[in-house]
Each structure stands twice: as C-alpha cells, then as structure tokens.
Amino acid sequence: MTLLSINAGSSSLKVAVFDDAQPDEPRASLSVENIESFDDATKQVAQWLHAEQSVEPSDVQAIGYRIVHGGNRFADATIIDNDVVEYLQTITPLAPNHMPSTLACIQAFTRAYTEATHVGCFDTSFFHDVPDTAKVLPISKKLQDEIGMRRFGFHGLSYESLLDNFSRNEGPSAARGRVIMAHLGSGASVSACVDGKPRDMSMGFTPVSGIMMSSRSGDLEPGVVTYLQQEKNMSPKEVSELFSHNSGLLGVSGTTADMYTLLHSQESPDVALALELFCDKVRKQIAAFTSVLGGVDSIIFSGGIGERSAEIRARICSNLSFMGVDIDDTRNQANERLISSDASIVGVHVVPAQEDLAIIRHTQALLQKGAS
C-alpha cells in the first residue's frame, strides 16, 4: 500500500510518496506551486500519482499532514475527523499564516481520498512537555491558565527528524547529549535538547516569535507594539502584517528576504546590516541555550539556509570559540556533514531536515496502533 505525506504552504504543496514496506525513504516527491485552489492541486496530485507512480486513490492507505499548531490539545499525532478540524479552526488565530491553507488542504484531500486514513502530525507536539521555565510566559499566570496560553514551540517535526538522523549516523549517545539545533530557513528557530528531549526553544506562542527570520521579526520589545498602535495609529492587522511579512531580513535590508540574493548584495550597508543582525541573533540564541543545557556537545545546522550557506554558518560560529567551537573552513565550504575541526570541543554538523519521514513514522504508528 501507498502512504503520502503532505506539507501545505499558503500557495504551495509538497507531496512525498512512500511504500508502507519501505518507510525510510520516499520513492517520489512532487511540489505544486502557485496554487489557486487546493481542490485543483489535489487533482494535479492524483493525475501525477496515476501517470507517474501508477497509484490510484484506492491504493492510498493513509495520508499524513504537517500541521503547524496543535494547541494545548495534541501531544501526539491524531486521526483527523470533524472534531479535530473544528478544534483546529478555533486555534487558527495562533497560526494565521499557516492554518488556513493547511485546513483547506486537509478538506480537499479528505474529499478526494475517502478510503484513506487521514493523520494530523503537529509541529508543536515535540515541545508539548518542555519544562515550565520554557513553557510559561512572563505575564499573569492566572490569565495564561484561564485562556490556555503558553509557549508552544514550532518546527518540531524537523527537529524530531534531525535527532533521529543524528542518532542513526553519529550514534545514540551523541543524540542523547547536549544538542543545539538551528533550523534556518524562511522560518527560523533554535532548540536545545538533552537526553533526546527538548529543554527550550526560541519560538514560543506563535511562529512569528524567536530569532529574526526572512520576513518575520522574531521577538520584539512589547513597547514596539503598543507604540505603533497608540502613536502611529496602526491597526492590529497592520501590525501583524508588518511583523509577519515585512520584517526580518526583508525589513532591515529593504530589498529582499532571499538569503542567496542578500549574500551577493553586501555592498549595500542595509543588506550588510541585515545579514550581521541575522547571524548575531542566531549566535546569541545558541550561546543562551548553552547555558540552559550547562554546556553543548553538538550543534546542528539545518533548513534551506543552514544546509546551503557556508558563509552564514561560519559567521554564526565565528564568536563561539569561548564555547569550544572551531569550524574547519574546507569542510564548511564543501558542505560536509561534520564542519568542525578535529580540534573543536563541540561537534558542528550539517544535517538535512526530513519532515516527511517524521510524518510517515507518526502515520504508520497510528495505523499499527489501530490494527492492534
């Protein structure tokens, strides 16, 4: 039987095809861009499966979906039904840039694949049981308890796949050590783990929080929000648009959110500042999480920027020698898996994120649980 993993963006869709007997590697993948309707995208996927993979709708046993937010309710993957969809609709304000497209995708695929089991896999589940010091916001605890506010954390499926990959390649002992992972892409975050479990994370209440990103601001002084609203008469919607879509690398550089373009435009002072600010934010977060863990054994870079940009990795690590970090320039430029030098106390690695593998493992586990 065939399993599908689905990762929906606002106007894009990534599909990976797995055989249930070989779930460790997708046999094929498809990216659908510039989506106007997820019903139309679903038809494109079905046509591609039929023509290129000889897969019919009845052959699809299960479909696993990446869902950015599970709220307080979901600590694990779950089978999607009407009740789950209704709950996700209620927490859409917590992830307004992600949830609408995800829900539209789920509704389109459940209509098209009625015989398949549909499974929701949540980015927040990985961080569900972090310590209270990482979970609780520094505002009224009574208010948080009343309305279910907390720091949730995101990119959990990516981090889960990184730890699994790290365990299989560098060994279980390395994966259980003090590990700091930096998922650096359009969305960017850092997490701290020990004994294979998360202890803290840069993203908190929403995916806009944490370190500076491509077009998201990351953490800001609260006074910035009230000043813009009270003194500049910006509406909540305008403030949200600013922090989510016109900040970060794009906002500071004034040109683009694309890291490749920025790296080739550093003669502009604002571009140079944007890049230095980005590296500085990530570097500070790594150093802060080292204190949370009481030291660090391994640093892992992942995501589009983390996996591809040797310059950004080198700049982030440049002032971390006091922690025992030493980068080997040749290894780094070659994008090798281990980019730290032999003399480095801390191992620095480049590991690809494989969210689709994490999704399929959760999906298979639910299927097996239902069959037992």
C-alpha 260/C-alpha 14 separation (Å) is 22
Contact indicator for 180, 296 with CB cutoff of 8 Å: yes
Which among 351, 303, 341 is positioned nearest to 320, based on CA atoms? 341
The question of whether 164 is a catalytic residue gets the answer: no
In three state form, how does the secondary structure of 306-341 look? HHHCHHHHHHHHCCCHHHCCCECHHHHHCCCCECEC
C-alpha 204/C-alpha 224 separation (Å) is 18
C-alpha 63/C-alpha 28 separation (Å) is 15
Which among 65, 70, 109 is positioned nearest to 87, based on CA atoms? 70
**Which member of 19, 39, 83, 123 is catalytic?**
123
Q: Which amino acid is at 133?
A: T
H helix or E strand, kind and range, residue 370: helix 355-371
C-alpha 64/C-alpha 4 separation (Å) is 6
Residues catalogued as catalytic: 123
